[in-house]
């Protein structure tokens, strides 16, 4: 007979979020331009989406381009936007066939019109899919997201549509980009860096953090499984204590 821990260890986290890091270092180690690392990183996204679906993960969020990334050299940004266009044109039909819903979160005002149209089309096509949700954090920064949510609350209160007494955690959460997305259970960062870099700061309040040395282009299903195994070794108390703990 299986015990409760055995059953828990076979259950995938409902929401896994990944900070994809290491494309540049992967390319540098091979004497290749950074673009080559980013292209290999797209292959890793494809592998990881498929692995997440096979493992029964309900929501997978990937941090693809941060609000700070706009400070990178113009040529590199152009290459990244080109890869984004390629992904949205070449992969969305496959996501749809697999029953995967695509959601893009972030400040889309800085994206070009054609990319926004591709995003709108992809989200519309996959809106009713229920096998898994793939969330792409694009032009995303968590502090800016929280500022935007706070501004909306302030505007609604000033207009008399919202009582200041009604502003609580739920009210702010409902105005974040992720209002219709569950908070992450597990956040993985690749490449050995141990920080979350302005990613899902509000939503990650009780997430488990797992840092792996693997560079993102080399990330495989086995790496994802290992992170999930580490997740299941953790005791999640959500701020509460258990007997004998402090």
Catalytic residue among 3, 5, 10, 21: 21
Whole-Å CA distances, 129 to 16, 58, 98, 101, 169: 18, 12, 9, 5, 29
Decide: 136 and 102 in contact? Cβ < 8 Å.
yes
Does 173 show up as a binding residue in the annotation?
Answer: no
Does 202 show up as a binding residue in the annotation?
Answer: no
Does 197 show up as a binding residue in the annotation?
Answer: yes
Does 208 show up as a binding residue in the annotation?
Answer: yes
Does 189 show up as a binding residue in the annotation?
Answer: yes
Does 142 show up as a binding residue in the annotation?
Answer: no
Closest CA to 150 of 134, 133, 169: 169
Whole-Å CA distances, 76 to 35, 118, 187, 194: 7, 21, 26, 24
Catalytic residue among 5, 43, 69, 185: 69
Closest CA to 212 of 200, 203, 225: 225
Does 123 show up as a binding residue in the annotation?
Answer: no
69 is catalytic: yes
Does 21 show up as a binding residue in the annotation?
Answer: yes
Under 8 Å CB-to-CB from 123, ≥6 apart: which residues?
A: 102, 103, 104
109 is catalytic: no
DSSP, residue by residue, 94-132: HHHHTTEEEEEES-GGGS-HHHHHHHHHHHHHHTT--SE
Does 31 show up as a binding residue in the annotation?
Answer: no
- In the DSSP assignment, the letter for residue 200 is S
Does 67 show up as a binding residue in the annotation?
Answer: yes
Q: What phi and psi values does residue 122 have, to the nearest 5 degrees?
A: -65, -45
Question: In this structure, what token pair is assigned to residue 101?
Answer: 């819903």
Does 117 show up as a binding residue in the annotation?
Answer: no
Q: How many CB atoms lie within 10 A of CB 37?
A: 21
Does 216 show up as a binding residue in the annotation?
Answer: no
Does 107 show up as a binding residue in the annotation?
Answer: no
- Residues forming the annotated binding site? 21-26, 34, 38, 66-68, 70, 72, 189, 195-197, 208
Q: Please give the positions annotated as active site.
A: 21, 69
Residues belonging to the binding site for substrate are: 22-26, 34, 38, 66-68, 70, 72, 189, 195-197
Q: Which residues are annotated as a binding site for Mg(2+)?
A: 21, 208
């Amino acid at each position: 007979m299986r015990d409760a821990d055995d059953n828990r260890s076979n259950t995938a986290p409902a929401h896994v979020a990944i900070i994809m890091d290491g494309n540049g270092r992967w390319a540098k180690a091979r004497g290749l331009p950074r673009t080559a690392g980013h292209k290999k990183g797209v292959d890793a996204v494809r592998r990881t989406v498929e692995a997440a679906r096979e493992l029964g993960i309900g929501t997978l969020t990937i941090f693809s381009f941060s609000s700070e990334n706009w400070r990178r050299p113009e040529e590199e940004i152009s290459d990244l936007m080109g890869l984004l266009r390629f992904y949205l044109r070449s992969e969305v039909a496959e996501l749809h066939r697999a029953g995967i819903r695509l959601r893009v979160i972030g400040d889309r005002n800085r994206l070009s019109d054609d990319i926004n149209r591709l995003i709108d089309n992809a989200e519309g096509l996959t809106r009713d899919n229920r096998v898994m949700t793939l969330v792409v954090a694009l032009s995303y920064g968590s502090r800016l997201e929280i500022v935007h949510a706070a501004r909306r609350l302030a505007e609604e209160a000033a207009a008399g549509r919202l009582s200041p007494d009604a502003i609580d955690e739920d009210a702010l959460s409902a105005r974040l980009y992720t209002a219709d997305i569950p908070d992450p259970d597990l956040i993985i960062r690749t490449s050995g860096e141990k920080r979350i870099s302005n990613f899902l700061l509000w939503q990650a309040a009780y997430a488990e953090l797992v840092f792996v040395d693997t560079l993102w282009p080399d990330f495989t299903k086995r790496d994802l499984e290992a992170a999930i195994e580490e997740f299941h070794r953790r005791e999640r108390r959500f701020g509460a204590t258990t007997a004998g703990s402090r």
